[in-house]
Amino acid sequence: MSRCGPGRRDAASSVASIFCEYERSLRPCLTTSSIRLATGDHSEMSSSAAPRTPGWHRGRVASWLVTTDHKRIGILYIATALAFFVLAGVMAMLMRLQLAQEDVDLLGPDRYNELVTIHGTAMIFLVVVPILAGLGNFLVPLMIGARDVAFPRLNALSYWLFAFGGLVLMLSFFADGGAAKSGWTAYAPLSTQDPGSGQDLWILSIHILTASSLAGAINFIVTIQNMRTRGMSWTRMPLFVWTIYVFAWLLMATLPTLSAGLTMLLLDRGISIGGWEAQTHFFDAAQGGSAVLYQHAFWFFGHPEVYIMALPAFGIISEVIPVFARKPIFGYKAVAFSTVAIGFFSMLLWAHHMFTVGLPNSLNAFFMVTSMAVAVPTGVKIFNWLATLWRGNLIFETPMLFALGFLSIFTIGGLSGIYLAAFPIDWQVHDTYFVVAHLHYVILGGSMFAIFAGLYYWWPKMFGTVLDERIGKWHFWLMFIGFNVTFFPQHMLGLEGMPRRVYTYSNGEWEGYNLTSTIGSWVMGAGLLFFAWNVERTWRKGTRVGNDPWQADTLEWYATSPPPAHNFDEVPYVTSARPLYDLRRRLREKDGYRAHL
């Protein structure tokens, strides 16, 4: 196994032997020169543990196809989602090229609308949510000291549904009539009138992804609820686990509404099975239906979805900042409970996406107040993170850079949301590039930056090697600068009157900001190339590190890197939210632990 050094212990281990193991684990493992995949020895392990595993399950590829190990499934999630990230990112860069100047003739309106739709849908359903689910998969059992999730097979089903749902969406470009063209929101009646099959495949794909997310959410909830190790009470749980817990509840609460809305959409488009045809008119005004009804169904899911993408990102930040500031999180309970508060409020403010449909102003006022209310717990988090930095011993390695980048960018995204919540202002900026800027500040600059912080931070745990610092810094700075150059000018475009989702424009005044934005998108693209290079290089000849290279606080760092199939031989009794900090402190009290630092 990838354990460093020989020392195996008896089953009946004492506190002292736990110390010894942790101390040994801090030393980089120099014996293994080749890089092994996380759980690379998994097949051998499980074959000894469960002798009746068929031989073909142990193959290099086959073992990944049949795996029910939460760590491997987590890595599969992340790898698949990163592949979709590349595709959806290329779509975005093509759209930016089309908009670089007025009246460019690169993409026609139909191609452009397809890209708008699939870029948005893919980034949300195939990239951000699955990477977070992947990180959750890999980390939650390790962080709570469990051997696996509660339902490992359901977990595998959830991954494979995601992979195939994603394929359906991407392949819909080749469908009769092309991919869906009605935006990621698929507003009726535009989406019900499109004759192509792309829209049907879009609905099918989301249905599959919904099933996947529901299975995953059930798994997370049951695991976190029941499988925490000895001593890990709710208030000793890592903050990332808190956010995954709320994330899972939000998925459970809101996805059924989306499914209902999309099923109604599908039926409105008409279905024919054999010779039997049926068509409903839920959203068809000519038959007494209501187009606005669909928007309610969509946004009751759609807004919590934003927090589904944001909360685990907050969780990552809450894990990274304390470790790289060498301090405990400032106000653990405030950060944990604000997560719950955000989750709760997020289900009460969906109609702030509908301020222009002509709802009564009393209703608009209600949704303005709830939208503003959610700013309060979000602000609490920002200030708690800042206070965690205060008087710390700040170390600027790549995970920390991305976390600090997240803080500075997400603040802008959160603040521009206040304008959108004040609904008379929203009447001006709704459906313009101001909103495009706002949502990218929240999702790309927020969630995606946090995800990169998380990938750099947990890479050593996943693969036993550390991503290169120098390339990582290039990656960060190109992303950070490119991001702001791309999206900040879009605020101005929106205020000057440029609507979103237009394939071209004939207003020369918009050209400067648009060109700036396009250039920024290519800088970001270059940053991502650095990330790809970093991964490739580390894969070939990464530096091996010990089990806890950052001297972090949470249980996953107690396992070996990468962890064995069963995660832990033994889990130390958890006495606080920072079990490894406690271990280190007791070690220091005991003897010359400091010498190893």
Partner 1 sequence: MRALLVLAGLLLLAAGLAPAALGGNGGFAPVTPESPNAERIHDTWIFVSIFIVAIFVLVEVLLVTFIWRYRRQRRERFEDGPQIHGTTSIELMWTVAPVVILFLIGGFVFYKLPGIADVPRASASGEERLVVRVTGRQYYWQYEYPNGAVAIDKLRAPAGVPVRLEVTAPDEDVIHSWWIPALGGKIDAIPGVTNETWFEAKRPGTYDGQCAELCGLEHATMLASVEVLLAAEFAAWLAERGRGRASIELGEEEWRGACAKCHGLGGEGGIAPQITGSPVLADREALEEIVRNGRGEMPAVGSGWSEEQVDALIAYLRESPPSGS
CA 147 to chain centre: 23
CB of 90 to partner 1, least distance (A): 22
Pairwise CA distance, residues 94 & 518, whole Å: 9
Q: Is 8 a catalytic residue?
A: no
Q: Is 184 a catalytic residue?
A: yes
Name the catalytic one among 21, 114, 148, 194.
148
Name the catalytic one among 22, 112, 184, 505.
184
CB of 506 to partner 1, least distance (A): 8
Query: What distances in angstroms separate CA 464 from CA 1, 144, 177, one per listed residue?
Result: 12, 20, 47
Q: Is 447 a catalytic residue?
A: no
CB of 428 to partner 1, least distance (A): 5
Name the catalytic one among 70, 207, 353, 584.
353
Q: Is 578 a catalytic residue?
A: no
Name the catalytic one among 42, 71, 111, 352.
352
Name the catalytic one among 80, 223, 229, 318.
318
Name the catalytic one among 117, 346, 371, 378.
378
Pairwise CA distance, residues 295 & 388, whole Å: 40
Name the catalytic one among 72, 228, 381, 475.
381
Q: Is 381 a catalytic residue?
A: yes
Q: Is 500 a catalytic residue?
A: yes
CB of 136 to partner 1, least distance (A): 26
Q: Which of 214, 210, 225 is nearest to 248 (CA)?
A: 214
Pairwise CA distance, residues 377 & 48, whole Å: 49
Query: Which residue number, 510 or 568, has a Cβ lying nearer to partner 1?
Result: 510
Pairwise CA distance, residues 419 & 411, whole Å: 13
End-to-end CA, the chain:
25
Q: Is 461 a catalytic residue?
A: no
**Contact assessment for residue 542 and residue 465, using Cβ atoms and an 8 Å cutoff:** yes
Which residue type is seen at 260? A
Q: Is 52 a catalytic residue?
A: no
Q: Is 539 a catalytic residue?
A: no
Query: Which residue number, 121 or 567, has a Cβ lying nearer to partner 1?
Result: 121
Burial 359-382 (b: 16+ CB within 10 A, else e): beeeebebbbebbbbbbebbebbe
Burial 67-101 (b: 16+ CB within 10 A, else e): bbbbbbbbbbbbebbbebbebbbebbebbbebbbe
CB of 273 to partner 1, least distance (A): 26
Query: Which residue number, 249 or 423, has a Cβ lying nearer to partner 1?
Result: 423
CB of 383 to partner 1, least distance (A): 4
Query: Which residue number, 43 or 182, has a Cβ lying nearer to partner 1?
Result: 182
Query: Which residue number, 182 or 547, has a Cβ lying nearer to partner 1?
Result: 182
Q: Is 353 a catalytic residue?
A: yes
CB of 2 to partner 1, least distance (A): 23
**Contact assessment for residue 517 and residue 491, using Cβ atoms and an 8 Å cutoff:** no
Pairwise CA distance, residues 429 & 37, whole Å: 48
Partners of residue 544 on adjacent β-strands: 465
Q: Is 307 a catalytic residue?
A: yes
Q: Which of 238, 49, 84, 259 is nearest to 171 (CA)?
A: 84
Q: Is 212 a catalytic residue?
A: yes
Query: Which residue number, 158 or 371, has a Cβ lying nearer to partner 1?
Result: 371
> Cis ω on the peptide bond leading into residue 564 (within 30° of 0)?
no
Query: Which residue number, 36 or 296, has a Cβ lying nearer to partner 1?
Result: 296
Positions marked active-site: 119, 148, 184, 212-213, 303, 305, 307, 318, 352-353, 378, 381, 500
